[in-house]
Chains A and B, each alone.
Chain A
């Protein structure tokens, strides 16, 4: 029983950053912004959360977690903001700029954990561990399942509500669906809307990084993210860019990856099989989307 429970909660722990980064990607894609940089924005959030937690724990006590997560979202927005500003001002393709910024973020983490933020003994390439007051509360005792999972689900519900009910969410969807019609028929400031979408998307990815640090790793080190920001693209696409769907697909990928690690440990099945299955699902999801589009066109020719 204990082993099963651990596997289940580990899957949800793994799903947490995938869900939040998946929401970041879904928001961006729905708004017509091809933010491939969730990975870099997530790391920016992790850096900020670590730095704030380490420096702020003695000062703010338990409130430091909240401050760290706010700092993480700001850092993610700032990191995405570089690409957003390049797009707005110089029409630089965000697909390229965000990927490049991912690499910069990855190497910046390497620099920090070997330089200014390295733990005091200067032996390991990582930061000091976070004080327990700076950690997210655990949901189930004896497991690693932390409060971040609840936050992830809450953010998904919130984003879904934004899309369906609010004028802002509607503007984002219209801008993503057709910038020209959004501008001509809706008088929407398309450039401003996509800029904001970009920042909010970065903020979400940043929160994913902050939650990972305060809920799971309790320190900053290299390879803190096994490509969460990239898997998040698959998570978002399989969910059809629907925020509530992201919860399900995030958990699905969490189970898949956790299961793959367990399978390798127990039975020697290569864990890369999980990547293969992920790829198959992405292809299947994309094919389904395309087929559904064709069916709509078929119905249209009835006129």
Chain B
């Protein structure tokens, strides 16, 4: 059976959402794959690989009671479920600075041109309310070498963004 769907659920955060949603999926005969849940700006967000014999519409039906009672929005896409093919990152990049429009586009733009394949990206807005700061962590593969990425980062560093790159040497033992 290779009937994989990507289920996205978004709503106001409160305790117990994951438990309620996954219980409904289990009761509906679904199998779960990989998932990522994040609280973003006080909102609950999750993306969840779901293996299910029916179609997208009936999958939404399985969680309808839960999403309606917790006031959540759900969305389903049919996907290829590629398990057991993890890529291992070889670089970690940290970026931070005073929050301003365009940081992500600027940084990821120069990095993409220098051969970065992003595997993971997380960002937060922190600092004081009046002086917000932006912090971003990226893990990825340097397909054209780490020096190429360092030169790319030097461009944004000149423009006043703090950015550093560290090689990730994965130990296999």
Q: Do A and B bind each other?
A: no
